[in-house]
Amino acid sequence: MSGFRTEKDSMGQLQVPEDAVYGAQTQRAVDNFPISGITLPAAFIQALGLVKQACANANHRLGGLDENHRRAISSICDDIVGGRLMDQFPLDVFQTGSATSTNMNANEVIANLASKEAGDVVHPNDHVNMSQSSNDVIPTTIHVSAAITCHQQLIPAINHLISTIDNKAASLASVIKTGRTHLMDAMPVSLGQELSGWSAQLQTSLRQIENTLPEIHQLAIGATAVGTGINADKDFGGMVAEELSNATGLSFKVASNPFAALSAQDAAVALSGQLKTLATTLMKISNDLRWMNSGPLAGIGEIALPALQPGSSIMPGKVNPVIPEAMTMVCAQVMGNDLTITIAGQSGNFQLNVMLPVVAHNLLQSIEILSNTSRLLADKAIEGFTVNEENISEALSKNPILVTALNTVIGYELGAKIAKTAYAEGRAVIDVAMDMTDLSRAELEELLDPKKLIG
């Protein structure tokens, strides 16, 4: 067949594209799983390169792999980690539940290219997969990729968002607005106070994510097929964890119980749960921004988000809150991903979880999209929004709920009458209170001073 070459594995021969670096087992998976067209994330494949490199180094240290083979394998792994061979990883996320196909994909790519570099045969199973099983390599790679993306992307992005909110809150500390409960007028708050609540929520979510990461840093490597470590030196897993720690600057170690490490994905489920909590916070912040920005004439109109693009194909001049809207969709996706990961986490049948690829895909997607949109929310929404102080002041002056501040002086019943009259007549509370109480204007101004009402 033109454009193809013949490869063979333990099941026989088949045709592989001439320009493909992978071999027969990868091609079988390409043929078997034409399902979604969604491949495993680049972050996962790059982490798999790191794991394979660490395994080669550990096997060399233990005397199982000669220096020529180690050097060649490590060199090809560098290319995988650098993202230069991504087109050689074509397999669908929806494949065998252990992701054996993806593990063999990596083994074949590395072996074929390393053989040329070494000038000798590098075997995908005997050399690249030495001391390993798909059953410990893939859970290890899920943890390594999640740890790296959390430390390099998510945590810096959330810290940036917190810092942006804190700076904005400080600049708006003196702007007092009508508070809202049940979407109805309530006692006043400052914009700075309102934003401080966002910051506190994010700080809590970030702390919870960071508290979950030590479990992610525990690796299944060394457990091999069922947790007993068959065909691996007893020191192999610890050496691989040490190699990965040196390569990434993170503190990886072998899981305390190898059987749990293979059969369960509890740490991934826990991290996903914290990502869902973060998404809940970001959904609240984004919806607050959308409400505050609503209008410009018929909505709340307290702020104006930066105008980024035309908002309508038919209504000229319309501008929409596109960044908060994008964020709310990201949050919905993360919440759905969490459900998928939770269901996948239940699929640890005896000695192996058999939904590993979908855990990897959903967990890394959640981390990536939360990281990216958090920076966008900071830089393209919160940092640059302007405040419509005229709208805020006018609404605050007519807010009938301000009468709450008079409760201890005039009582609840009279306060309710003043509030209803002020609302019905569209008058300021202070003017109605002048008519319905014996308090002087000076006393009322003192009692109803918004600056004193926000604490």
Catalytic positions? 182, 312
Rounded to 10 degrees, the C-alpha dihedral 49/55/59/62 comes to 140
- Measured in whole angstroms, the distance separating CA 80 from the mean position of its chain's CA atoms is 23
Helices 134-149 and 100-118: crossing angle in degrees, nearest 10, is: 90
Q: Would you tell me how many other CB atoms lie within 10 Å of the CB of residue 446?
A: 12
- Cβ proximity of 453 and 405 under 8 Å: yes
- For the chain, report the end-to-end CA distance as a whole number of angstroms: 80
Q: Which residues contact 195 (CB under 8 A, 6 or more apart)?
A: 165, 166, 168, 169, 172
Tokens of 128: 């690249």
Tokens of 410: 């005039």
Return the bridge partners of 179, or none: 186
DSSP-assigned letters across all residues of 24-43? HHHHHHHHH--S--PBPPHH
CA dihedral for 27, 32, 37, 42, sign (positive or negative)? negative
- Cβ proximity of 302 and 190 under 8 Å: no
Closest CA to 420 of 400, 406, 399, 398: 400
- Cβ proximity of 27 and 20 under 8 Å: yes
Place of tokens 């969604």: 38
Q: Which residues contact 209 (CB under 8 A, 6 or more apart)?
A: 150, 154, 155, 158, 271, 274, 275, 278
